[in-house]
Structure 1
Amino acid sequence: MKPWLGSASHARWLEAESDRLLAFSRGSRHPAGGFAWLDDDGRAQLDRPVQLWITCRMTHVFALGALMGRPGCASLVDHGIGALTGRFHDDERSGWYAAVDADGPRTEQKSAYEHAFVVLAASSAVVAGRPGAPALLEEALEVLLTRFWDDEHGMVVEEWDRSWSTLDPYRGVNANMHTVEALLAASSATADDRLLQHALRIVARVVHDLARSHEWRIPEHFDEQWQPLLEYNADAPAHPFRPYGATIGHWLEWSRLTLHLRAALGEDAAPDWMLDDARSLFDAAVREGWSVDGAPGFVYTVDWSGRPVVRERMHWVAAEATAAAAALHDATGDAAYAQWYQTWWDHIADVVLDLRGGSWRHELDTSNQPSALVWEGKPDTYHAVQATLIPRLPLAPALASAVGEGLLRQG
């Protein structure tokens, strides 16, 4: 059978799925600004606080839609920028609030995770040529690199209070992963290659140091001296952002991001270990995460011996699996990655795509039936949309820039 990767007919299928996801996404526009959490049927949950991370992700998604020439997406990017320069922005002390409602900020803590997504959204909006985006990106990069960047350790710290005077002692790898993604996007949008060196320091620490020294099970949680806290949240293993143990989907995401960074640096300039480490992370995710408990799907987390802890299947892990397989196939030409790619898209089509309610089912149980142990509803379409684009794009530049340069392979 002809491999799907690179075929015109598969590209057409991916394009149709991109459009189906964009159509579902339009319902997230919040009338007060930003983008709302959507329920299983795509209804905006207007009684919930509006989340910064969702607003940024959806602004990024609509920027991709605008760059693909989808009518109506540009105005939704502008809607997102309006919220990021308006209701989410701390005009007095700079930075962005993590959540807001009709009464204002719901929390005054300022976290690197959300701020990385501001950089991503602004970068994609810059590439899409939206008004206000360049100033937003300039400020977002300044805040990220002056407030969160820890130059001693080559990582970003996690969370400040509103006044930037008290730093939480917790350190996390998830925020650093999305910082790498954001720096790749910003470097492509601004042609500032210096940002890639920050990204490289993070990837070297997490992938080449921490992952390798823990049998590719990436520690997620750390104290203020960057010492791993391996038992963190052992009593709350299904936490949506800080689960106990090692998170399978992040190994796949780090694998892919390592390859994007390698391509952005140029293979001659990139460290030799990057390709081998990306392969190793992918292999570990397959070995310890895929179909390990009697049913197809990736478990959410494993303990430090590789045994499953939370067995629910997250849509975003399947999305990142296809993207990592496509990226490794691009980097190596190895047919095994093309086969895994097809296996996982078949799995997504069988149980993850929601052709009645729209979008993808965000969480499934161990029998691949809808579940809500970790996530309720369908908060955003960021992972799913990217999964439909990455197989049709080169590894560099970053997604929005590649689409903007006309590099998206069409059917």
Structure 2
Amino acid sequence: MSGPVVGRRAVLLEQLLAFAARSRVERGFGHLRRDGSVDADGGLELWVNARMTYVFSVASLLGVPGVADLARHGVEALVGPFEDRALGGWWSALDTDGRPVEDTKSCYDHAFVVLAAATAHGARVPGAEGLLGRALAVHEERFWDEPRGLCVDQWSGDWSRAEDYRGANSCMHTVEAYLVAADATGDRVWCDRALRIAEHLVDAVAREHRWRVVEHFDADWRPLPEHHRDRPADPFRPYGATPGHGLEWARLLTHLHAAHEVAGDPPPAWLLEAAAGLFDRAAADADEGRGGFPYTTDWAGEAVVDQRFHWVHCEAVLAAHALERATGEARYADLAGRWWDFTVEHFVEPDGSWLHELGPDLAPADLTWPGKPDAYHAFNALLLPSLPLAPSAAVALR
């Protein structure tokens, strides 16, 4: 492997990619069990396929053998069985025969289609340019709410009914996707829209809630702090605050700040202030006694779902690295090192694959995330600390 990743991280990156490559199936990428076998009865999920396409597209620029073909395979799946060519958009899930199994189209999934398409286009994957054009058009027409500067969360499959729920999670990943789309297309409108989303959900709402990210809202964007109290371990819409999302937002704000600097625009002063506020709140809600971060807390910072997820710890490391580079403060580098050591010790298996969930006792668990379906967060944790904060990965590597 060539490129900026060296030492132990380079070895772990190659091992992770070799494990993730096992997910390839006829129509895309399947759900991997803990042992690396594909769950043959599980069908295909759009978010997994889009994330894998992103991973393999970036990895193709690192000179890793075989991953360029996997990136092409991912794009072919996204322009093939997942895409609704009749009505537009992408299906959230397919059965084992390649037929849609959910009559919904979600902003969360479509944000990852934009991310995958923009990254694949940056990596010069065949078919990615057309995919990106359609993905941005659908996102703009169906999910972007221009008057509010936020996103609609979910539609029925025929686009006739929008769900009343609005969510910060899908908006957060839209920020990520729009920043990459701005780099891929050269169109600053996507960066401007990413800033508008962050202004409302972070600079306004999270600031009002002591830098805890409010995840759930009604159709008029009124907060729903008790949403899913009866389903606290929901993998996408859990009750309460999610420290991992506070950390992920902190990282994205540093990318947004850097994107303004690269473009020669003065970054809004609040971006790094808010990133530090989110980071410090999440760090304060960490479990210093046993190590790591709980999945969710209540609004006073007490753990609700006390599981440890790999993605949360990846985002903790990435946020610390990003803030150290953006501010020069040594405390972030110290935390990045400490959290990285914890993450490698407890989540990385001998074959280089990553456990997705641990219990409070730090033993492997599958309360919320069975198997190892997703290489995206681990890949980013291994690669992004070696890249600039802007532009995004594929452009920076190319």
Structure 1 length as normaliser, TM-score?
0.94
CA distance in 2, matches of 1:85, 1:391: 31
Q: Secondary structure at the match of 1:110?
A: strand
- The one of 387, 391, 398 aligned to 2:381: 387
How far did 1:103 drift?
Answer: 5.3
Structure 1 residues 160-239: aligned runs within 5 Å: 160-239=155-234
Question: Matched residues, percent identical?
Answer: 47
CA distance in 1, matches of 2:348, 2:13: 12
User: Counterpart of 1:338?
Assistant: 333
Matching of residue 253 in structure 1 with residue 248 in structure 2 = yes
Q: Secondary structure at the match of 1:105?
A: coil
CA distance in 1, matches of 2:180, 2:345: 32
User: Counterpart of 1:409?
Assistant: none
- The one of 258, 268, 271 aligned to 1:271: 268
CA distance in 2, matches of 1:16, 1:209: 42
Matching of residue 83 in structure 1 with residue 77 in structure 2 = yes
Once the two structures are superposed, residues 340-368 of structure 1 have per-residue CA deviations (whole angstroms, 9 ceiling, x without a partner) of 01101110121111114x41110001111
The one-letter amino acid paired with 1:245 is: G
User: Counterpart of 1:299?
Assistant: 294
The one-letter amino acid paired with 2:277 is: S
User: Counterpart of 1:5?
Assistant: none
Q: Is the 8 A contact 2:4 2:387 kept in 1?
A: no
User: Counterpart of 1:129?
Assistant: 124
User: Counterpart of 1:21?
Assistant: 16
Q: Secondary structure at the match of 1:246?
A: coil
Q: Is the 8 A contact 2:143 2:153 kept in 1?
A: yes
Range 194-203 or range 265-274, more displaced: 265-274
CA distance in 1, matches of 2:166, 2:324: 33
Matching of residue 286 in structure 1 with residue 283 in structure 2 = yes
The one-letter amino acid paired with 1:126 is: H
User: Counterpart of 1:407?
Assistant: none
Q: Is the 8 A contact 2:310 2:356 kept in 1?
A: yes
CA distance in 2, matches of 1:55, 1:337: 33
Q: Structure 2 unaligned runs (5+)?
A: none
The one-letter amino acid paired with 1:275 is: L
The one-letter amino acid paired with 2:287 is: S
User: Counterpart of 1:367?
Assistant: 361
User: Counterpart of 2:42?
Assistant: 48
CA distance in 1, matches of 2:308, 2:98: 36
How far did 1:45 drift?
Answer: 1.0
The one-letter amino acid paired with 1:291 is: D
Once the two structures are superposed, residues 163-190 of structure 1 have per-residue CA deviations (whole angstroms, 9 ceiling, x without a partner) of 2111110000000000000001111111
CA distance in 1, matches of 2:212, 2:112: 25
Q: Is the 8 A contact 1:57 1:121 kept in 2?
A: yes
CA distance in 1, matches of 2:4, 2:179: 30
Structure 1 residues 114-153: aligned runs within 5 Å: 114-153=109-148
Q: Which runs of 4+ in 1 moved over 4 A?
A: none
Q: Structure 1 unaligned runs (5+)?
A: 1-7, 405-411
Structure 2 length as normaliser, TM-score?
0.97
How far did 1:132 drift?
Answer: 0.7
User: Counterpart of 2:91?
Assistant: 97
The one-letter amino acid paired with 1:51 is: E
CA distance in 2, matches of 1:55, 1:241: 17
Once the two structures are superposed, residues 223-276 of structure 1 have per-residue CA deviations (whole angstroms, 9 ceiling, x without a partner) of 000001100000010000000001010000000000101110127521101111
Residue-pair matches, total: 393
Q: Is the 8 A contact 2:5 2:386 kept in 1?
A: no
User: Counterpart of 1:158?
Assistant: 153
CA distance in 2, matches of 1:295, 1:78: 43
Q: Secondary structure at the match of 2:302?
A: coil
CA distance in 1, matches of 2:198, 2:51: 22
Q: Is the 8 A contact 1:62 1:76 kept in 2?
A: yes
Structure 1 residues 33-72: aligned runs within 5 Å: 33-72=27-66
User: Counterpart of 1:354?
Assistant: 349
CA distance in 1, matches of 2:183, 2:79: 22
Q: Is the 8 A contact 1:49 1:106 kept in 2?
A: no
Going from structure 1 to structure 2, the CA distance change for 1:225 and 1:72 (only over 3 Å counts) comes to same
Q: Is the 8 A contact 1:207 1:277 kept in 2?
A: yes
Matching of residue 326 in structure 1 with residue 321 in structure 2 = yes
CA distance in 2, matches of 1:55, 1:108: 18
Q: Secondary structure at the match of 2:319?
A: helix
The one-letter amino acid paired with 2:220 is: Q
How far did 1:11 drift?
Answer: 3.7
CA distance in 1, matches of 2:396, 2:201: 26
How far did 1:10 drift?
Answer: 8.3
Q: Is the 8 A contact 1:30 1:46 kept in 2?
A: no
**RMSD between superposed Cα atoms in Å:** 1.4
CA distance in 2, matches of 1:59, 1:103: 18
Once the two structures are superposed, residues 316-355 of structure 1 have per-residue CA deviations (whole angstroms, 9 ceiling, x without a partner) of 0110011001100110111111100110111012111111
